[in-house]
């Protein structure tokens, strides 16, 4: 619930246990949004967030189809499997990649990557909620929240630049770190992963610019009647 910014803080959202049996448990999330038009978008986002957070915790959604037991994967290996960017790696590449990932944890409120800081590593969020904050007119503005499978630090990897956003832990977070020295040769060899990461960076830069750009001031109309009033 904390990963969805559209849910109102007051009245606070809640989760309740609806039923429990030997086959599984059913939960219900309830919350409020500012307008009726947001209901569908928020509902879809909550389904996506629930799936990703459950997957990160090793919990599978119930299915009516019998499936063979999945092989036990290490935490970093399973994270690569679910990552939108790295899921296209071959199996042996994922195995090698996972051995070069280091776990790092952050407490609530801790900064993961400061705005303007050029990162020499890439983070993949394994669990928790990350808050993204921009400065607008000198005041902080939360522009988004991130969850399992999403990455932080791609600007430093791709172009030795930085985003103007602060990334901080909204909840307790576990992230896996990949050093640039290891990742860069992979991106040079795998253009599909490089292009996916570049598209993500372009999207984030465009969003940051659109949220922080100055709103143009509309000049008041000056007609003949206005001129007459000013002369009185």
Residue 137 has what pLDDT? 84
Tell me the pLDDT band of 213, cut-offs 50, 70 and 90: confident
Percent residues over pLDDT 70 in the chain? 88
Residue 229 has what pLDDT? 62
Does residue 62 or residue 94 have the better pLDDT? Answer: 94
List the single range of 35-49, 84-98, 129-143, 215-229 with lowest mean pLDDT. Answer: 215-229
How far apart CA 85 and CA 145 sit, in angstroms, is 18
Calculate Rg over the CA atoms of the chain: 22
What tens digit of pLDDT does each residue of 8-36 get? 989 999 999 999 988 788 899 999 999 99
What tens digit of pLDDT does each residue of 151-169 get? 999 999 999 999 999 999 9
Tell me the pLDDT band of 146, cut-offs 50, 70 and 90: very high
Percent residues over pLDDT 90 in the chain? 53
> Which among 168, 170, 188 has a CA at the least distance from the CA of 180?
188
Residue 219 has what pLDDT? 54
Fold observed for domain 75-212: Jelly Rolls (2.60.120)
Residue 177 has what pLDDT? 96
Residue 107 has what pLDDT? 97
The first and second tokens of residue 105, run together, are 């944890």
Where exactly are the structural domains of the chain? 14-56, 75-212
Helix axes 75-82, 91-98, angle to 10 degrees: 130
pLDDT at 175 over 90: yes
What tens digit of pLDDT does each residue of 70-122 get? 567 888 998 888 888 888 888 998 999 999 999 999 999 999 999 999 999 99
Mean pLDDT within 196-218 = 82
Residue 138 has what pLDDT? 84
Residue 180, SS3? helix
Q: Is 142 in contact with 218 (CB distance < 8 Å)? A: no
Residue 204, SS3? helix
Cross-strand pairs, 131: 145, 168
pLDDT at 64 over 80: no
Q: Containing H/E element for 149?
A: none
Alpha helices in 58-190 (DSSP H): 75-82, 91-98, 154-159, 180-189
């Amino acid at each position: 619930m904390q990963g969805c910014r559209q849910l109102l803080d007051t009245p606070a959202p809640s989760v309740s246990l609806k039923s429990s049996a030997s086959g599984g448990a059913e939960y219900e999330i309830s919350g409020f949004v500012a307008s009726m038009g947001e209901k569908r978008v928020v509902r879809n986002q909550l389904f996506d967030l629930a799936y990703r957070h459950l997957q990160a915790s090793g919990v599978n959604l119930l299915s009516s189809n019998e499936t063979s037991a999945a092989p036990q994967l290490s935490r970093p290996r399973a994270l690569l499997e679910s990552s939108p960017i790295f899921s296209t790696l071959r199996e042996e590449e994922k195995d090698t990649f996972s051995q070069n990932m280091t776990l790092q944890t952050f407490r609530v409120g801790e900064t993961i990557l400061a705005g303007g800081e050029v990162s020499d590593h890439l983070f993949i969020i394994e669990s928790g909620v990350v808050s993204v904050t921009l400065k607008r007119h000198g005041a902080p503005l939360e522009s988004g929240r991130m969850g399992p499978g999403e990455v932080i630090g791609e600007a430093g990897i791709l172009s030795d630049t930085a985003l103007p956003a602060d990334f901080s832990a909204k909840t307790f977070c576990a992230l896996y770190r990949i050093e640039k020295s290891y990742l860069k040769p992979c991106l040079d060899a795998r253009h599909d992963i490089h292009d996916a990461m570049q598209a993500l960076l372009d999207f984030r830069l465009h969003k940051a610019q659109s949220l922080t750009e100055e709103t143009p001031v509309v000049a008041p109309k000056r007609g003949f009647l206005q001129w007459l009033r000013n002369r009185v």
